[in-house]
Structure 1
Amino acid sequence: MAAQQSRGPTADAVRAVVAPVVDDAGLHLEDVAVSGAGARSVVRITVDLPEDAVGSVDSDTLGDVSRAVSAALDADDVVPGAYTLEVSTPGTSRPLTEPRHFRRARTRLVTLRLHDGGTVHGRLVDVEGADGEAVLVLDDGTRVPLADVRKGKVEVELKRLDDAGEDAAGTHEDAGGSRTDEEG
């Protein structure tokens, strides 16, 4: 009995078409997902700034890359028929799991859950070393080997460091990093 052929596009086929487009826009292709939704496929593309960049993808850039990705998919006809294209960024809800995620989170408040049960909170200022030996450096000088981190996440801030004022001593309003020992 012959294997059944997939009628829809694969994420790998879509990735092959959109990767050069995203790269030309100066962005990193984080993820590609293709799913069926009735007679219409849904193509989800997640893009981010390169790992050495600080900040986030602005809406104009996201719109530009979305139009370019749509044109490339239509020209290549990798997604036959009607489809819905969703182009987005990872957002702050993305768990920090790879060294590049932590590099992108520089200047952000983070919570790190450690393998030993401890938790570290602070503003991530640097990621030193190669991926296999990366060390996270917080603004209070705390250094955490990435290998010790079980789970990391960016904390949502209503007032970012760039927007925070300085007090008379020249220090930022934010208190900086701390460590607590708790299960998590």
Structure 2
Amino acid sequence: MDILELEKLLEKTLEGINCTLYDVAFLKENQTDILRVSIKACDRPTSLDVCQEASLLISPLLDVSAPSLKAYTLEVSSMGLERTLSKPRHFALSIGDLIECRLSDNTRIRGVLESAQGQEIVLNTEGTLTPLSLDKIKKAKTIFEFGKAKNPKKA
């Protein structure tokens, strides 16, 4: 099973508990192979209980649907407050968040992510809407500012 097939399987499965897939990564830490699945709850905070529910749902599914995967440890976690954005899905799930982008020419731009459609995003930088193409973004990440109110649309 390749990564795209795995992502589709996980997306469909997570819908059943009203969650969405943020990312999937295969990692190696201290000689241990890890399958890290990052999720976002659609209708509530992504709590430890939500991650545990997702893990209990995903684990037997992977045993049956992807038996060819070598031995691994499954980790299910929230997508996190500060995270790297690299896929269109990452941007779509971060609408309303403060993000910083480093562009191809090394300039940096920071603003609230207003929209994300396919390969295009729009940042609100102090009231100015700035459209950006994902192919012009070298690196992007969300920024969490302690003590600042979260976007009321996302609360």
- What is the TM-score with the length of structure 1 in the denominator? 0.59
Is the strand fraction higher in 1 or 2?
A: 2
Give the gaps of 5 or more residues in structure 1. Answer: 1-9, 165-184
- Between the two proteins, the alignment pairs up a number of residues equal to 148
Q: Which residue of 1 aligns with 2:35?
A: 44
Pair 69,158 (structure 1): closer, same or farther in 2 beyond 3 Å: same
CA contact (8 A) 1:18 1:72 kept: no
Pair 81,32 (structure 1): closer, same or farther in 2 beyond 3 Å: closer
C-alpha displacement at 1:110, in angstroms?
A: 1.3
C-alpha displacement at 1:92, in angstroms?
A: 4.0
Q: How does 1:1-184 map to 2 (within 5 A)?
A: 15=6, 19=10, 20-29=12-21, 30-33=23-26, 42-49=33-40, 57-74=46-63, 78=67, 84-124=73-113, 126-127=114-115, 130-132=117-119, 134-138=120-124, 140-147=127-134, 148-162=136-150
- What is the TM-score with the length of structure 2 in the denominator? 0.68
C-alpha displacement at 1:135, in angstroms?
A: 3.2
Q: Report the RMSD for the aligned CA atoms in angstroms.
A: 3.9
C-alpha displacement at 1:23, in angstroms?
A: 3.3
Q: Following superposition, which runs of at least 4 residues in structure 1 exceed 4 angstroms of deviation?
A: 34-38, 53-56, 74-77, 79-83
User: Partners of 1:127 and 1:102 in 2: how far apart?
Assistant: 8
User: Partners of 2:86 and 2:69 in 1: how far apart?
Assistant: 34
User: Partners of 2:7 and 2:103 in 1: how far apart?
Assistant: 36
| Structure with max Cα Rg | 1
User: Partners of 1:121 and 1:54 in 2: how far apart?
Assistant: 27
C-alpha displacement at 1:143, in angstroms?
A: 1.0
User: Partners of 2:78 and 2:7 in 1: how far apart?
Assistant: 19
Q: Percent same amino acid at aligned positions?
A: 20
